[in-house]
Amino acid sequence: MIATQAKLVYQLNKYYNERCQARKAAIAKTIREVCKVVSDVLKEVEVQEPRFISSLSEIDARYEGMEVIAPNEFEVVLYLNQMGVFNFVDDGSLPGCAVLKLSDGRKRSMSLWVEFITASGYLSARKIRSRFQTLVAQAVDKCSYRDVVKMVADTSEVKLRIRERYVVQITPAFKCTGIWPRSAAQWPMPHIPWPGPNRVAEVKAEGFNLLSKECYSLTGKQSSAESDAWVLQFGEAENRLLMSGCRKKCLSILKTLRDRHLELPGQPLHNYHMKTLLLYECEKHPRETDWDESCLGDRLNGILLQLISCLQCRRCPHYFLPNLDLFQGRPHSALETAAKQTWRLAREILTNAKSLDKL
């Protein structure tokens, strides 16, 4: 048994050093190319409208605010200034979302975003996005990369297609630090020792983002409350939780397997599903020794089996917001196909570690 485990860990490390590192290098190259174009477009936007300042910056060869959705699909978060005069209201009526309401009607004219405030005092995510979309469309026509970049039509999101190969969504957002959403108040579960009080305090201080984008749980329910609402996102908090042991290596392997074998019609699985299930696996195995290099095979198998279970039940709860189902709106047939394909993948890795050479 131990020999089999050791063999699997050896093969996984080989897979990581060959396949995962090659994927990372290819994506890093793409990001550099994509960010040149996006930065140029955002510079043009800023000339027209100084309230939309590009927050895309390179730090230690990594771009802050750039999220990899898939090898040819990215999201850039554009942080907006001055949320100050608004209260964050999170009553759970819109799963995964919250609203920003004027703290005092008399402060309306003091807001930097005055023309995007609704009659009832909400800062409308949709109105800001709509204005931003117009500005980006104008910037695309003026920027120096206009021959290789164009807007993606038929969506309320701000999406660019670059060189006919890559899609980049640019999402206006507010950073919220020092507060924690009520809808995530159940975290951490009192009976689960991971991640421990110090890390919890760090994560909560890190806070979360409010994004202006269409919400998972609301597609099809186009109410005015929905279009004004902002989507909660916990990217930085999640990354902080995955910093120690072999967690990041495990995620890298999961992402590579997904990109190579689970990129399926109907797009049932994204890398974010992998990250979510990894966080749940951390709760199931709370001791740091459970995330030692020698346990990599066990952790990976555990996550793949949990993924099959979620796909079969057609439900994958968000880690911090369990009322939000990350499979919402995905076609059932696509989830079924993904379950079968994940099972084939897991069985192959479990029964024959050397199969990783071909995966």
Q: Per-residue pLDDT tens for 226-244? A: 678 999 999 999 999 999 9
Given this model, what pLDDT does residue 319 score? Answer: 97
> Which pLDDT score is estimated for 63?
82
CA separation for the pair 347, 304 (Å, rounded):
10
Tokens of 258: 């997904």
Nearest to 323 by CA among 91, 157, 100: 91
Task: Give the per-residue pLDDT at 218.
Answer: 54
Boundaries of every domain in the chain: 1-358
pLDDT of residue 58: 79
Q: Is the pLDDT of residue 10 over 60?
A: yes
Band of pLDDT at residue 111, cut at 50, 70 and 90: confident
**So what's the pLDDT on residue 41?**
95
Q: What one-letter code names the amino acid at 320?
A: F
What pLDDT digit, counting tens, does each position of 300-329 carry?
999 999 999 999 999 999 999 999 999 998
Q: How far apart are the first and last CA of the chain?
A: 23
Peptide bond just before 181 cis, omega within 30 deg: no
pLDDT tops 70 at residue 222: no
Q: Are 100 and 83 in contact (CB under 8 A)?
A: yes
Res. 126: pLDDT tops 70:
yes
Where do runs of H (alpha helix) occur along 49-161? 125-142
pLDDT tens digits, 138-179: 999 999 999 999 999 989 899 999 999 999 999 999 999 888
Q: Give me the pLDDT at residue 223, please.
A: 57
Mean pLDDT of the chain: 91
Q: What is residue 107's predicted lDDT score, i.e. its pLDDT? A: 75
Q: Which of 75, 72, 52, 73 has the alpha carbon at shortest distance from 64?
A: 75
Q: Which DSSP letter does residue 294 get?
A: G
In CATH, what number does 1-358 get? 3.30.460.90
Q: Which residues pair with 209 in a beta bridge?
A: 175, 233
Q: How far apart are CA 108 and CA 105, in angstroms?
A: 6
Following DSSP, what letter does each residue of 223-279 receive, concatenated? -HHHHH-EEEE-HHHHHHHT-STTHHHHHHHHHHHHHHH---TT----HHHHHHHHH
